[in-house]
Amino acid sequence: MIEEKKFYLTKKGLEKIKKQYEELKKTKFSKIREEAPNILHSEDLNPEYLSFREDIGLLERKMVELKNVLKNVELIKIPPKKERNIVKLGATVSLEERGGQINEFTVVGTLEANPGQGKISSESPVGKALLGRKIGDKIIMNSPITIAYRIKKVTYRLD
């Protein structure tokens, strides 16, 4: 049996996915109720009908994707107090570069990742390098250039 992929989400991320799913259901229902009768009474296969079918197909595919996420979701939770110095999903990590510059990232699941907001995926190179590390650990990232970070602080605040 094939193992389903887990989707790690914060409570806020889960609510967002649920809301998206409900909105898609309403959109699909509305589209079928309002547009289908006019298109289906046509004598021949017309471009409007093909466009309608394509729109419904896209909505249904997106709904299946979201339903799969909801079926395989695992909520990110704050770890027990004794483990809060270890970087896990949901951790906000302050990293110090060699020159003393501090960067802050929150490690989240892939669906909530948004580097512009400082949210990095646990599956990204930096996210993978951080998981399981502790305050004081040194991390060396090799991309086009080599960057060394030292973990200065690990906090958990899942809002």
59: three-class secondary structure by DSSP: helix
At 12, is the pLDDT very low, low, confident or very high (cuts 50, 70, 90)?
very high
pLDDT of residue 158: 67
pLDDT of residue 94: 94
CB atoms within 10 A of CB 72: 13
Strands 91-97 and 119-121, by their bridges, are unpaired
Q: Tell me which amino acid residue 138 is.
A: K
Strands 91-97 and 146-156, by their bridges, are antiparallel
Q: Is the pLDDT of residue 1 over 60?
A: no
What is the Cα–Cα distance from 138 to 73, expressed in whole angstroms? Answer: 32
Tens of pLDDT along 70-97?
Answer: 999 999 999 999 999 999 999 999 999 8
What is the Cα–Cα distance from 27 to 88, expressed in whole angstroms? Answer: 37
Rounded to an integer, the average pLDDT of 16-29 is 93
Tens of pLDDT along 101-147?
Answer: 999 999 999 999 999 999 999 999 889 999 999 999 999 887 778 88
pTM, two decimal places? 0.79
CATH topology of domain 81-156: Chitinase A; domain 3 (3.10.50)
pLDDT of residue 45: 64
Question: Angle at which helices 47-71 and 11-40 pack, to 10 degrees?
Answer: 160
**Residue labelled with tokens 């509305």:** 30
Q: Is the pLDDT of residue 36 over 80?
A: no
Rounded to an integer, the average pLDDT of 15-23 is 95
At 44, is the pLDDT very low, low, confident or very high (cuts 50, 70, 90)?
low
- Cα Rg of the chain, angstroms: 22
At 34, is the pLDDT very low, low, confident or very high (cuts 50, 70, 90)?
confident
CB atoms within 10 A of CB 69: 21
Q: 92 or 45, which is more confident?
A: 92
What is the Cα–Cα distance from 147 to 92, expressed in whole angstroms? Answer: 19
Q: What is the CATH number of domain 7-75?
A: 1.10.287
At 3, is the pLDDT very low, low, confident or very high (cuts 50, 70, 90)?
low
Domain boundaries, the chain: 7-75, 81-156
pLDDT of residue 141: 83
Backbone angles phi, psi at 53, to 5 degrees: -60, -40
